[in-house]
Amino acid sequence: MSTFVLHLRSGRPFLTFPARVNAAGARLTAGLVVVTVALAGLTHVGWPVALLAADFALRAVLGPRQSPLGRLAGGLVQRLALARTTTSGAPKQMAATAGALMLTAAALAFAAGAVTAGWVLTGVLAVFASLEAALGLCVVCRVYSVFVDCPDCAGEP
């Protein structure tokens, strides 16, 4: 079975999620998500949730380098000279997909006037992002490793 892969001029694949992702970049991205959600909550505006949903969707489909927060986190990793340890990409892709779905539901709740439901969904995602940012604990990645035989995921947070 063959797959369609679009390559950039650099030869790097564009429409594929990488097999390995930078763990520090993933944690910084989660931290940026937490900051964005906190600012949205403090200002009582829901539109940043829709932007985060789009960012998560970009990350899930195109990979971390194609999302604005992923690019910002990648730049911070380089600027701060953080260690380049990698982690399996497939669980992170599932986590980005789950985040996109959750935040899309939250944005739709806001649009429908169900503000409380929107904030609850956004808050749950913020808790998961906080665990990733502070402790390196990716809850969806743990769920992934339970249901998918992923020998590469063993021992990862």
Please say if the pLDDT value at position 11 is more than 80.
no
Which range among 3-17, 67-81, 95-109, 140-154 shows the weakest confidence by mean pLDDT? 3-17
Give the span between the Cα atoms of 100 and 107, in whole angstroms.
10
Half-sphere exposure in the Cβ direction for 116 (13 Å, CA): 0
pTM: 0.86
**Of 101, 107, 8, the residue nearest 62 (C-alpha):** 8
Please say if the pLDDT value at position 1 is more than 50.
no
Domain residue ranges of the chain, discontinuous segments joined by +: 21-151
Q: Bridge-partner residues for 148, per DSSP?
A: none
φ/ψ of residue 22, rounded to 5? -70, 120
- Band (59; pLDDT cuts 50, 70, 90): very high
- Average pLDDT of the residues in 48-73: 94
What pLDDT, on a 0 to 100 scale, did the predictor assign at position 2?
A: 40
The angle that helices 89-111 and 47-62 make with each other, rounded to 10 degrees, is 150
What pLDDT digit, counting tens, does each position of 127-152 carry?
999 999 999 999 998 888 888 877 66
- Band (15; pLDDT cuts 50, 70, 90): low
Helix, strand, coil percentages, rounded to 5, for the chain: 70, 5, 25
What pLDDT, on a 0 to 100 scale, did the predictor assign at position 155?
A: 52
Give the span between the Cα atoms of 105 and 102, in whole angstroms.
5
